Structure 1
Amino acid sequence: MQKVIFITYIITVLEITWMFLQFSITPYLAKRLGMDTLWFGYLQTTVGVIQLLGGPLFGRFADIFGARMALATSCLASVMYFLLLGFTNSVPLLFIHKLPAVFMHILPGAQMVVTDLTEPEKRTDALGKLGLCFGIGMITGSSLGGFLSTHYGESFAAFVGAGGSLLSTVLVISFIPKHTKKQPGAQEHVDKKAKAGSVFNLSEIARLMKFPGVAKIFAVKITSGVPQGAFQVMFSIITMNFFQLQAAQTGYLLAYFGVVQMVIQGAVIGRMTSMYSESNLLLLSIGVASIVGVAQALMSNVIEFCFIVIPMMFSLCTFNVITDSMLTKSVPSSDTGTMLGLCASVQSLMRTVGPTIGGFLYQNYGVSSFGYIQLVVNTLLLVYLMKSGISKREEH
Structure 2
Amino acid sequence: MKRAYLIVLMVMAMDAVGIGLVMPVLPGLLREVGHVDDIGWIYGAFLSSYAAMQVVFSPLLGALSDRYGRRPLLLLALAGSMVNYLFMAFAPSLSLLFAGRILAGITGASMAVASAFIADMTEEDRRARGFGHLSAAYGVGFIAGPALGGVLGDIWLRAPFLAAAALNGLNLFLAFFLLPEPKCAVGPGEMPSLNPLAPLRWAFTFPALLPLLGAMIVLGLVGEIGGTIWVLYVQDRFGWDLFTVGISLALFGLFHAGAQGFVAGPIAERWGERRTLLIAILADSIAYVSIALAWQSWMAFALLPLFCLGGIGSPALQSLLTARIGADHQGRLQGVLTSLMSLVSVVGPLAIAMLYFRTRAFFPGLVWIAGAALYALCLPLLLARPAPRDEAARPG
> Which TM-score band (shorter chain)?
0.7 to 0.9
Q: Distance in 2 between matches of 1:88 and 1:234?
A: 31
1:98 is aligned to 101
2:343 is aligned to 349
Q: CA deviation at 1:344?
A: 1.1
Q: Distance in 2 between matches of 1:83 and 1:245?
A: 34
Identity %: 21
Contact 2:73 2:113 in 1 (8 A): yes
Q: One-letter code of the match for 1:124? A: A
1:107 is aligned to 111
Deviates more, 1:221-230 or 1:119-128: 221-230
2:354 is aligned to 360
Output one character per residue of 1:293-330: Cα deviation in whole Å (capped at 9) or x when no partner: 213323567654333332212212x1210111111110
What aligned pairs does 1:220-299 form with structure 2 within 5 A after superposition?
Answer: 220-233=215-228, 245-246=241-242, 252-299=247-294
Candidates 135, 145, 150, aligned match of 1:146: 150
Matched, 1:308 2:308: no
Q: CA deviation at 1:72?
A: 0.7
1:9 is aligned to 9
Contact 2:287 2:306 in 1 (8 A): yes
Q: 1:28 to 1:288 in 2, by over 3 A?
A: farther
1:182 is aligned to 184
1:166 is aligned to 169
Q: One-letter code of the match for 2:354? A: F
Q: CA deviation at 1:341?
A: 0.9
Deviates more, 1:85-94 or 1:116-125: 85-94
2:394 is aligned to none
Q: CA deviation at 1:170?
A: 0.8
2:321 is aligned to 327
Contact 2:57 2:106 in 1 (8 A): yes
What aligned pairs does 1:16-165 form with structure 2 within 5 A after superposition?
Answer: 16-27=16-27, 29-30=29-30, 33-37=36-40, 39-87=42-90, 94-99=97-102, 100-149=104-153, 151-165=154-168
Q: Distance in 2 between matches of 1:296 and 1:196?
A: 49
Q: 1:37 to 1:279 in 2, by over 3 A?
A: same
Q: CA deviation at 1:53?
A: 1.1
Q: One-letter code of the match for 1:381? A: L
Q: Distance in 1 between matches of 2:278 and 2:296?
A: 29
Contact 1:139 1:257 in 2 (8 A): no
The answer for unaligned runs of 5 or more in structure 2 is 392-396
Q: One-letter code of the match for 2:55? A: L
Q: Provide the TM-score with structure 2 as the length reference.
A: 0.85
Contact 2:59 2:199 in 1 (8 A): no
Q: One-letter code of the match for 1:371? A: W
Output one character per residue of 1:61-100: Cα deviation in whole Å (capped at 9) or x when no partner: 2111111111111111111221222235665555444212
Total equivalences in the alignment: 382
Q: Distance in 2 between matches of 1:51 and 1:384?
A: 29
Q: 1:81 to 1:183 in 2, by over 3 A?
A: closer
Deviates more, 1:162-171 or 1:338-347: 338-347
Q: One-letter code of the match for 2:223? A: Q
Q: One-letter code of the match for 1:16? A: A
Q: Distance in 2 between matches of 1:153 and 1:352?
A: 30
Contact 1:224 1:381 in 2 (8 A): no
Give the secondary-structure state (helix, strand or coil) at the position aligned to 1:154: coil
Matched, 1:375 2:369: no
Contact 1:85 1:158 in 2 (8 A): yes
Q: Distance in 1 between matches of 2:320 and 2:386?
A: 15
Q: Distance in 2 between matches of 1:76 and 1:58?
A: 14
Output one character per residue of 1:5-37: Cα deviation in whole Å (capped at 9) or x when no partner: 111111111111111222333345457752454
Give the secondary-structure state (helix, strand or coil) at the position aligned to 2:263: helix
Q: 1:136 to 1:259 in 2, by over 3 A?
A: same
Q: CA deviation at 1:244?
A: 5.8
Q: One-letter code of the match for 1:326? A: L
Give the secondary-structure state (helix, strand or coil) at the position aligned to 2:291: helix
Q: Distance in 1 between matches of 2:299 and 2:95?
A: 37
Q: Distance in 2 between matches of 1:67 and 1:129?
A: 19
Q: CA deviation at 1:241?
A: 7.9
